[in-house]
């Protein structure tokens, strides 16, 4: 259901809105000069995707459209074996995708264990805008996607199949800390009006158990934002991020006055404290506040994030715990 339809069906009349003094979000924002914006940031050095979103924002696009189109760049990248089409399969050879999206209004949509659809983030957006639900899973998510005109494709590329078959020879399951220096894409955009949107999309951990869903499509874990405060996205070992509800934690810490950098550090250190085996996996967070300040922290050296601001794209090595 579109937001305006929801408003219609909840019985709020146009007159009720007209009676409310019109106050833009920007004027509520104490940092309303917004000199730093627009900005797009993404986990890892996903410069093409981040630039795509950043350029859209500079041309006046809203944060929600920019974030969706930005992450779609990596969903379509067949060479990226951790996101979308070409993603590594689970241990049984199924490519199953997880994605979510959040709007400045606080609306959210997600799909989990979605097969055969190259752009799960766009299905997640449809779930957000066209249904009364937040998340659809598996067969139901696929059915919904097909009913909404998404094309059914084979997501397992020859290359990913070959690597999976090599893996089957030993079946040794151990997370690789910084996979080829790129991984899940989580993106946050703040547009010219100062509104924030976010998205997160992944094929999950390579050779995961059939049925496994990670943090990336879970609102509060892989992604969270509050348009009054800021947003956060995660990458790495989803189980650790889910147990700490990491992105939600970071936004709440920023609400209490922490900078994005301080909030990311606290969240990673909590994961370190909660997991005796923390040295065996990577978790990284990137956060953005309403002022346009950015922070990032991770367990292991090697993580960086991409940023597009003032017409420039950059790769920014994150601070790290070990």
DSSP characters over 105-152: TS-EEEEEEE-S-S-HHHHHHHHHHHSS-SEEEHHHHHHHHHHTTPPP
Cα torsion 230, 233, 239, 240: sign: negative
Instruction: Tell me how far apart the alpha carbons of residues 211 and 193 are, in angstroms, rounded to a whole number.
Output: 40
Find the catalytic residue in 43, 81, 82, 184.
Answer: 184
* Choice between 68 and 183, CB closer to ligand SD4: 183
* Choice between 235 and 275, CB closer to ligand SD4: 235
User: Whole-number minimum distance, CB 35 to ligand SD4, in Å?
Assistant: 32
Other CB atoms within 10 Å distance of the CB of residue 203: 30
User: Whole-number minimum distance, CB 26 to ligand SD4, in Å?
Assistant: 33
Give residues in contact with ligand SD4 (CB under 6 A). 183-184, 202, 204-205, 214-216, 235-238
Alpha helices in the chain (DSSP H): 3-9, 14-19, 25-28, 47-58, 63-75, 120-130, 138-147, 158-170, 238-244, 246-255, 260-274
Residue with tokens 């990673």: 268
* Choice between 103 and 216, CB closer to ligand SD4: 216
Instruction: Tell me how far apart the alpha carbons of residues 287 and 249 are, in angstroms, rounded to a whole number.
Output: 11
Residue 201 bears catalytic tag = no
User: Are the C-beta atoms of residues 66 and 89 closer than 8 Å to each other?
Assistant: no
At 252, which helix (H) or strand (E)?
Answer: helix 246-255
* Choice between 61 and 287, CB closer to ligand SD4: 287
* Choice between 168 and 209, CB closer to ligand SD4: 209
User: Whole-number minimum distance, CB 121 to ligand SD4, in Å?
Assistant: 14
User: Are the C-beta atoms of residues 50 and 42 closer than 8 Å to each other?
Assistant: yes
User: Whole-number minimum distance, CB 193 to ligand SD4, in Å?
Assistant: 30
User: Whole-number minimum distance, CB 204 to ligand SD4, in Å?
Assistant: 4
Instruction: Tell me how far apart the alpha carbons of residues 221 and 134 are, in angstroms, rounded to a whole number.
Output: 14
* Choice between 56 and 135, CB closer to ligand SD4: 135
β-strands 319-320, 294-298 pairing: parallel
User: Whole-number minimum distance, CB 122 to ligand SD4, in Å?
Assistant: 19
Q: 314: which strand partners?
A: 307
Catalytic residues: 184
């Amino acid at each position: 259901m579109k937001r305006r339809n929801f408003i219609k069906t909840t019985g709020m009349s146009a007159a009720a809105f007209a009676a409310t003094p019109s106050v833009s979000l920007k004027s509520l924002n104490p940092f309303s000069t917004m000199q730093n914006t627009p900005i797009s940031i993404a986990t890892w050095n996903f410069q093409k995707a981040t630039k795509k979103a950043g350029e859209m924002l500079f041309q006046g696009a809203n944060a929600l459209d920019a974030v969706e189109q930005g992450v779609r760049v990596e969903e379509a990248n067949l060479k990226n074996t951790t996101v979308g089409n070409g993603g590594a399969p689970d241990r049984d050879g199924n490519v199953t995708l997880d994605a979510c999206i959040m709007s400045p209004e606080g609306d959210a949509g997600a799909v989990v264990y979605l097969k055969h659809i190259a752009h799960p983030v766009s299905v997640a957006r449809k779930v957000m805008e066209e249904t009364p639900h937040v998340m659809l899973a598996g067969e139901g998510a696929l059915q919904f996607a097909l009913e909404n005109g998404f094309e059914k494709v084979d997501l397992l590329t020859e290359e990913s199949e070959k690597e999976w078959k090599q893996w089957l020879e030993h079946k040794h399951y151990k997370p690789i800390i910084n996979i080829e220096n790129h991984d899940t894409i989580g993106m946050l955009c703040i547009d010219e009006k100062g509104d924030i949107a976010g998205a997160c999309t992944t094929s999950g951990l390579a050779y995961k158990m059939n049925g496994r869903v990670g943090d990336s499509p879970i609102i509060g874990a892989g992604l969270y934002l509050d348009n009054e405060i800021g947003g956060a996205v995660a990458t790495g070992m989803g189980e650790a991020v889910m147990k700490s509800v990491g992105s939600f934690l970071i936004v709440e810490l920023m609400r209490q006055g922490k900078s994005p950098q301080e909030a990311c550090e606290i969240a990673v250190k909590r994961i370190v404290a909660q997991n005796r085996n923390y040295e065996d996996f990577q978790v990284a967070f990137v956060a953005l506040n309403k002022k346009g300040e950015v922070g990032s922290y991770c367990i292991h050296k090697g993580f960086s994030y991409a940023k597009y601001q003032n017409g420039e794209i950059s790769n920014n090595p994150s601070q790290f715990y070990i």
